[in-house]
C-alpha cells in the first residue's frame, strides 16, 4: 500500500519533516483527527494523527504521548517552531461519528469521541496556527495525502468528494 515517497502516519504518530520527496499519508480517518501543518517560507510540514482528546486519567500516556490532543498539538507546534516554522497554516480532518449504532447509554456516549477530539484539537491549535480548512464531523471517513514539496493536502471523503488545499 505504501508507495515510494509515501510515508504512512499511523495512529498516535507525529511527523515533522522538510524532505520534499515525502508525501504523508493517512489511509483512513474516522473519529481521529489529522492535523496537517505547513509553513510556506521554510517548507516544513508536520502531521499529527490524534486518537483521543485528553491524556488526563489515562494509563500509560508516557509511552503514547501523541495519541492525545493535549500532548500532540503543543509538541507539533514546538517541533515546527524549532525548524523556523512559526504560526503554520493548517488543515484539520476527522472527528466523524461513523457508527451510529443504536446502543443504549452509557455505551452510546463513546460514539461521540470524534466531536470531543475536534473540540480539543481546536482548543490547542487555534491560538498558534492559521486554520485554512476543516473537514470535520459528519458520518463519513477520509483519506488524507499531504505533499511536503508544495504543502498541498488532498482529502478524499467517503462520500466520493475530493478536495485539494494548498497550505
Partner 1 sequence: MVTAEVLQEALSAVQKECEAALSQFLATEVAFEPKEWAQRQADELLSVLYSFAEPSQVRAIAVGIYGQMQGYLILLLPMDDADRIAAFVLGDEGDESLRESVLAELGNLATARLLMGMGKALRLFGESLPTPPETRVDFSGALLQSLAVLLLAQGQGNILHALWQMRVRLPDGTAHGSGHFFLPLWGEGLK
Q: Please, which residues have CB within 8 angstroms of residue 12's CB and are 6 or more apart in sequence?
A: 49, 50, 51, 64, 66, 67, 72
Give residues 17-46 in contact with partner 1 (rule: CB under 8 A).
25-32
Query: From CA 149, how far away is CA 167, in angstroms rounded?
Result: 11
163 contributes a contact to partner 1 by CB under 8 A: no
How far apart are the C-alpha atoms of 62 and 84, rounded to whole Å?
27
Does 51 participate in binding partner 1 (rule CB under 8 A)?
yes
CA 115 from centroid of its chain's CA atoms = 14
Among 69, 80, 91, 96, binds partner 1 (CB under 8 A): 96
Residue 11 interacts with partner 1 (CB under 8 A): yes or no:
yes
Q: Which is nearer to partner 1, 29 or 44 (CB)?
A: 29
Site residues (vs partner 1, CB under 8 A) = 1, 10-12, 25-32, 51-52, 60, 64, 96, 98-104, 107, 110-111, 113-114, 140-143, 156, 158
Amino acid at each position: 500500500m505504501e508507495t515510494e515517497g509515501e510515508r504512512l502516519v499511523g495512529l498516535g504518530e507525529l511527523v515533522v519533516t522538510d524532505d520534499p520527496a515525502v508525501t504523508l499519508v493517512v489511509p483512513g480517518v474516522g473519529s481521529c483527527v489529522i492535523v496537517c501543518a505547513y509553513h510556506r517560507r521554510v517548507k516544513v510540514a508536520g502531521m499529527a494523527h490524534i486518537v483521543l482528546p485528553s491524556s488526563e486519567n489515562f494509563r500509560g500516556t508516557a509511552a503514547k504521548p501523541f495519541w492525545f490532543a493535549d500532548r500532540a498539538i503543543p509538541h507539533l507546534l514546538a517541533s515546527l517552531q524549532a525548524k523556523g516554522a512559526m504560526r503554520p497554516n493548517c488543515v484539520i480532518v476527522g472527528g466523524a461519528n461513523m457508527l451510529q449504532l443504536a446502543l443504549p447509554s452509557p455505551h452510546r456516549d463513546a460514539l461521540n469521541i470524534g466531536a470531543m477530539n475536534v473540540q480539543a484539537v481546536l482548543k490547542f491549535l487555534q491560538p498558534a496556527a492559521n486554520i485554512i480548512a476543516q473537514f470535520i464531523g459528519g458520518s463519513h471517513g477520509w483519506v488524507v495525502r499531504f505533499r511536503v514539496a508544495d504543502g498541498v493536502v488532498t482529502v478524499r471523503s467517503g462520500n466520493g468528494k475530493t478536495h485539494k488545499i494548498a497550505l
